[in-house]
Amino acid sequence: MTASAATTCCGRCTRRTTSRAPYSGSPDSSSSTGADQAPTARSAAIPRLRIRHQPFKVNPEARDRWLLHMRAAVDELGLSPLHENMLWDYLERAAHAMVNTHEE
């Protein structure tokens, strides 16, 4: 059973959210290693972000400017070094994945 609803994330766009039953792997699979299971939400987050940002020009300069602001925000959080490094690693990977042009 699937339920969906439109929500706004920033006022400029509308995205569709869907709630689904948990993925249980293929019905004929007898593997218990988990290799047959769907990707996690975390592994799918960057491709979804990239799709959402595709209409906008994101060049290396914009990426670096965004990372500069995010660095300041992360520094203000006062996270433990472990959590800060995990968050910063994700933000850097996401920022590099968003680049869709090298034009000025």
- Quote the pLDDT of residue 27: 41
pLDDT tens for 61-96 read 999 999 999 999 999 999 999 999 999 999 999 999
What is the mean pLDDT of the segment spanning 53-61? 89
Confidence grade of residue 60 (pLDDT, cut at 50, 70, 90): very high
**pLDDT-above-70 percentage for the chain:** 57
Structure confidence at residue 34 (pLDDT): 46
Question: Does pTM surpass 0.75?
Answer: no
Is pLDDT above 70 for 55? yes
3-state SS, one letter per residue, for the chain: CCEEEEEECCCCCEEEEEECCCCCCCCCCCCCCCCCCCCCHHHHHHHHHHHHHCCCCCCHHHHHHHHHHHHHHHHHHCCCHHHHHHHHHHHHHHHHHHCCCCCC
Domain boundaries, the chain: 39-104
CATH architecture of the domain with residue range 39-104: Orthogonal Bundle (1.10)
Q: What confidence tier does 40 reach under pLDDT thresholds 50, 70, 90?
A: low
Q: Can you tell me the mean pLDDT for 26-46?
A: 50
